[in-house]
Amino acid sequence: MPTLNLQSTHACFGGEQRFYQHASAEIGLPMKFSVFLPPQAQQGPVPAVLYLAGLTCNEETFMVKAGAQRLAAELGLALIAPDTSPRGPEAESLPGSTASWDFGIGAGFYLDATQPPWRTHWRMESYLLRELLPLLAQHLPLEGERIGIFGHSMGGHGALTLALRHPGRFKTLSAFAPICAPTQCPWGEKAFTGYLGPDRTAWQEHDATVLMQNQPIAPYPAGILIDQGLADKFLAEQLHPHLLEAACQAIGQPLTVRRHTGYDHGYYFVQTFMADHLRHHAQGLLQR
């Protein structure tokens, strides 16, 4: 039976902030993740929100920088934050891997790579959906059927695409400054060429805008929330929220994109609007 190795635990707002490592069958290497359990988890399973971090981040970034635990404890939401990518000597020996943080190749992009040398270990989609979430529901007091998903930047891309690629798996969805159309931006083109090869039809299966265009009905009738800073230096070239807006409008998917003057791409921005995102998820996850 797979085991979770608890690396550290910290009392936090009446709950526990935990950091784990485990041997991943999908990745083929050790993987790390963090979980915040609110005080309500002491009485029984609670709903959870999966947070996917962006380029250059790891399983600690969100828990340390986002300021999410206080409100999550009040709401009774668990928080899950996996690492973004495979790590360790074997992974970092590959060209442009996480050791160099080459802004496109190395960071996992939350997909399963099909091209060598990446396809052996870069299996983040299967890792999250087929391994990590079932493992956590088995070992921790989490309600496996009441899971939301959100993320930041590359992780916002991951949240949007995984939610659209796995209908019904995630009950709620939001994002901070997501890469909305990776087939049309330099980060996505570089990562998808490396991970998926030159055939752009394969890329479209991991592009939130294209996936939304192909939805038969609105997948999240209660709405999707996106926050975007207008002082974000990546907005014009990399993020393209207007393309996702158009795709949502075309199929009648309620989408709120809030654009904020003066805010950039970093975690001061994420902190500022974190409470709104947690309440957005709580509204959908805490209702029976």
Question: Which residues have a catalytic role annotated?
Answer: 153, 232, 265
**Is residue 38 a contact partner of residue 76, using CB atoms and an 8 Å limit?**
yes
Handedness of CA 204, 208, 214, 219 (dihedral sign): positive
**Is residue 136 a contact partner of residue 248, using CB atoms and an 8 Å limit?**
no
**Is residue 224 a contact partner of residue 252, using CB atoms and an 8 Å limit?**
no
State how far the Cα of 22 lies from the Cα of 56, in Å rounded to an integer.
21
Find all residues with CB under 8 Å of 68, minimum gap 6, and list them: 36, 51, 62, 79, 274, 278
Strand partners, 80: 35, 50
SS3 144: strand
For residue 160, give the nearest of 144, 141, 177 by alpha carbon: 177
Find all residues with CB under 8 Å of 215, minimum gap 6, and list them: 164, 251, 253
State how far the Cα of 181 lies from the Cα of 94, in Å rounded to an integer.
27
**Is residue 152 a contact partner of residue 270, using CB atoms and an 8 Å limit?**
yes
Counting runs of H as helices and runs of E as strands, what totals does the chain give?
Answer: 11, 9
